[in-house]
Structure 1
Amino acid sequence: MSSSKKIILSIAVPIPLNRVFDYLPPDNYTPEHLQPGVRVKIPFGKNTKTGVLLAIKPDSTIDTSKLKKAESILDTYPLLSSKDLLYWAQTYYHHPIGDVFLSAFPIALRKGKSSKLKVPHYYKLTGTGKDINEQALKNAPKQLALLNLLQTQQQAISSQEIANYFKLWRAPLKALIDKKYVTQTSTDHIQPAIITRQPALQANPEQLTAIDSVCTQLDKFSVHLLEGVTGSGKTEVYLQIIHQVLTNGLQVLVLLPEITLTPQLEARFRQRFAVAIETYHSQHNETQRLTAWVNMQQGNSAILLGTRSALLTPLPRPGLIILDEEHDSSFKQQEGFRFSARDIAIVRAKMLDIR
């Protein structure tokens, strides 16, 4: 008890007040878990809230006998490893610090849910599945589509990855397993050695100029505007730039202006790249967004496609940020924490010394 009185937790709480709140550590906490960037469950008024630990200090301006104890530390390690960007956004946009910090989390984490993901099942073709004649599944198009997907994989594929391709996948998968074409495996998911599934298209002189101008500056902060009419090949330009970034072992964040554009671009990315790709937007449910966020935050996935809500997703190996149609008004958040995704993206890249 005496040691607890010497430790004060400075916590950001998502309320419309631009201040932090001091708390005492919870009972029976693990000292190693008490690090800035972890989430903390706290009593607040008549309710409980999820806040973010910003600092640990030896004293408080409030009498420690009047301070409440936090209820629990929700994480075993900091989910937000770098907080400079959030401090900058809070100051620049004059918005309450608790709202800004909690906006970096998906809804599930804001509600205090666990950041630990369920271990996914992995599936691969059996010897029979590899040699099957497609005519055998001509009357089962969903099974055939799933079989074709597995045939394009270099390794076992997780149920989460299958769900990215097909909405109704469980029944076709079960049928393929029953027919001994597919088997479940406990093999851990390992990033494939190859980066691309398909070769890049032949770039024209204008595209080559744009690609070279960016790729020659991949080792430092820079901002580039790629301008061209619809159908001029802008997407191919940044696909080839992304390939170079992935070759360097870094992650890529691609922000899109509209949810409706995401499936179209996602399909093109999955056709081109063999790395793990995540999508993040409001049409996903809480579990899907949590999975995408944690996989990027832990470095399990290499590419994140999302709308402006994906902007603050932590990346342990950041290499490139792209805003597709950066002039689109949907990149400006108009409710709650109001911000320009383009401006924050530029500041984030500068702080990280990336493109």
Structure 2
Amino acid sequence: MQHIDLANKKVLITGAAGFIGSYLVQELLRTVTPVTVIGIDNMNDYYDVSIKEYRLKEIEKAAVKHSGSTWTFVKADISDKSVIDVLFQIYKPEIVVNLAAQAGVRYSITNPDVYISSNLNGFYNILEACRHSYDDGNTGVEHLVYASSSSVYGGNTKVPFSTDDKVDNPVSLYAATKKSNELLAHAYSKLYNIPSTGLRFFTVYGPAGRPDMAYFGFTNKLLKGEKIQIFNYGNCKRDFTYVDDIVHGVKLVMQGAPDRKTGDDGLPVPPYSIYNIGNNNPENLLDFVDILQQELIEACVLPADYDFESHKELVPMQAGDVPVTYADTSALEADFGFKPGTSLRDGLRRFAQWYKEFYLK
């Protein structure tokens, strides 16, 4: 593994106004001095844009507070190849973290076009730009880190999910695009010796998260007095991973690029890695919503006498969903000495406190 010191590096983060992206930008500005961070995001309206604007304001605060580093934001879409090419020409990033993607399993069933545009064409543009960063003998990109997803495991029944498992049977278009990212990255690593690492994230949650995620959507509905639907009659388990743990893992991985090696055939051995980042502790969905409502009451988002039982409905499994996600994080622990550890109660408490501040102040 090639160690990379992030100080004095130029880091391009796509999806910088997104959930994970915004937290990562803030973490780099806070902890790495100096660092140049370039963020790109199309600010689309897949969900409430005011949350994305809030995240950008939080980044601006961090940039002002830690003035030794530089923050630049570009509002654009990674599926626009000309934009990506110009960004690479101007800034010449040494580290690229691709977090921009159209997210959501269920949305991919009704709106497939945007997944092809963002998750496939967009990622292809990033790979091509990384490839050409080495033109004319330039050092170019030292490490490409990109978001994959636990959804690539599909209906795997062997748990916990290991990166050694075969993942050839996606059950949603979203999962198929993420698996495709891994395949494309492997091909480009082999052909052009680009050090790349894919990260399979497991059900990320926390303050300022995505409103389409269960914990956020449940909160919105409960506050309105609406019923929440719990799929597979509550017999789902999810490896919920707090956003700070995800970001800590991403930052560690950014600093450890796969080694460039030459094979017996004189060609590059792909400098390519895949890791799970999950809590390694799947929680039953019924337990999860029980903790959530307790923390919402504690934060005064819901009244103390809230009748939770009358507001939940057990329903069958949704198309594209899976019954369990469970991360084997042994590779991440072995290579980086890190394992996520934020408890679900602590994470949901922080979310409930943020929700009150953002929506009910």
- Please, what TM-score do these two structures have when normalized by structure 1? 0.24
Q: Which has the larger radius of gyration?
A: 1
Counting helix residues as a fraction of each chain, which structure ranks higher? 2
